[in-house]
Structure 1
Amino acid sequence: MYIPNIYKNENQGDIIDFLQKNSFGILINQNDGNILATHIPLEFEIKQNGKQFLEGHISKENPQWKIFENDDRILAIFSGSHAYISSSWYDHENVPTWNYIAVHVYGKVKILDYEESLYSLKKLVDKYEVNSENPVRVEDLSEKTMRQARGIIAFQIEITSIEAVKKISQNRDKKNHQNIISELEKTQDYNACQIAQEMAKNKK
């Protein structure tokens, strides 16, 4: 991913926090020049040995997983909030632009066995059921329902590198930076307000 130095995010804590809060990504690989992509949750983990991983699963009907055995290289893309930045918000003439936050994760994928798949599925369900009024637990599901788990391919991606961009008007002076925040907040758009919050955290 092309990232101008001013927008490059190398704060590991910030990147991990982003991946944990924006775990619905796009899994991408290729086979003989054909690009395949699937939109799925991909959960970030750090193992005891310090290695970083993503875990996820796709349907057995999805042909993308069949490539894993021949070519284990994977790209996962995660996007955060984004917002249009009008040039009318500056105190000088300039072009409009777009502020956004994104992370590209590169790694090597490995298919999990059935028991590992169930454990991965349990972790995923537990994470997203934690605030439910009546949380579902994988271990409480009937045998009939759990047969559906045979229809998924779970996998683990050992992360080899991460590229992160946070383009939030770092190239603007204090006055224009604050004015962009104010204008974004006026829109009352969720994404715009999220970008405004990120800009405020990095206030000049």
Structure 2
Amino acid sequence: MYTKDQFSVSLPVMCDFVRAKSFGVLATYHDGTVHTSPLPVDLRAAQDGELFVAGHVARANDMAEAFAAQPPATITVLGPDTYVPAEWFGTRSRIPTWLYCAVEISGRLELSDAARTRADVVQLIDRLQKRTVDGSTWSLGEIPEKLAEGHLKNIVGFRLRDLTFKSCFRLNQRKGETESLAEALGAEADSARRELAGLVLDPPTAHAE
């Protein structure tokens, strides 16, 4: 991913962004083919503090064959984005552009066995349940074991290790006409554009550590 210093955020901000979205596109290359797959993304820290991503794909997904070879891979997590016409800058002398937020996580794929895959799925569900439903106590254990095992047999788990991070929060930094742009974005019905209105006024890149 191409980026510049003014579009980059700190590692803690990237981690918060990825955990808030918890969904991205995994891409890898194996046996002459580029494989991509949208999937849940669970960014976690090991006991020694090392960051890794736990995830899974359908067993029928051709990408699953690549995991045993431990190929390099990248996960892209996207946030809000929008096309910006010249008029939104309050002038007709600006080139239209695109605003977006994205984090890339690159590393080495590592195949998970059945026990680790189940543990990772349970932990992912627990985190997302509690975040999505106030006071949720639902767990995988509420599904009949045969049904749960059937679902788990149909997926292949992996972990992405040895991570490197890149970010690009392209929010009109250093371009001017910020207030006009934010006002135009905030007036739109689209939720992504309204979210970008706040980010344009106070980009997270300004708080990089």
TM over 0.5: yes
Partner of 2:63: 64
- Describe the SS at the equivalent of 1:50: coil
Partners of 1:68 and 1:115 in 2: CA distance: 16
CA contact (8 A) 2:67 2:158 kept: no
From the superposition, tell whether residues 33 and 171 of structure 1 become closer, same or farther in structure 2 (CA, over 3 Å): farther
Q: Confirm or deny that 1:118 pairs with 2:118.
A: yes
CA contact (8 A) 2:25 2:75 kept: yes
CA contact (8 A) 1:54 1:159 kept: no
Task: Quote the offset at 1:90 in angstroms.
Answer: 2.9
Give me the TM-score of the superposition, normalised by structure 2: 0.89
Partner of 2:32: 33
Query: How many aligned positions are there?
Result: 201
Partner of 2:142: 140
Q: Larger RCO: Structure 1 or Structure 2 (Cα < 8 Å, ≥ 6 residues apart)?
A: 2
- Describe the SS at the equivalent of 2:69: coil
Gaps of 5+ in 1: none
Task: Quote the offset at 1:134 in angstroms.
Answer: 6.2
Task: Quote the offset at 1:56 in angstroms.
Answer: 0.7
Task: Quote the offset at 1:87 in angstroms.
Answer: 1.2
Task: Quote the offset at 1:38 in angstroms.
Answer: 0.7
The two structures, once aligned, show a CA RMSD in angstroms of 1.9
Partner of 1:179: 180
Give me the TM-score of the superposition, normalised by structure 1: 0.91
Task: Quote the offset at 1:201 in angstroms.
Answer: 2.3
Structure 1 residue runs of 4+, over 3 Å off? 132-135
- Percent identical: 19
Q: Confirm or deny that 1:195 pairs with 2:163.
A: no
From the superposition, tell whether residues 159 and 196 of structure 1 become closer, same or farther in structure 2 (CA, over 3 Å): farther
Partners of 2:183 and 2:126 in 1: CA distance: 38
Question: 1:145-198: per-residue Cα shift (whole Å, max 9, x none)?
Answer: 12221111111111421110000010223xx10110000011121110111121
Q: How does 1:94-109 map to 2 (within 5 A)?
A: 94-109=94-109
Gaps of 5+ in 2: none
From the superposition, tell whether residues 90 and 146 of structure 1 become closer, same or farther in structure 2 (CA, over 3 Å): closer
Partners of 1:32 and 1:146 in 2: CA distance: 32
CA contact (8 A) 2:90 2:180 kept: no
Equivalent residue for 2:167, pick from 164, 167, 187: 164
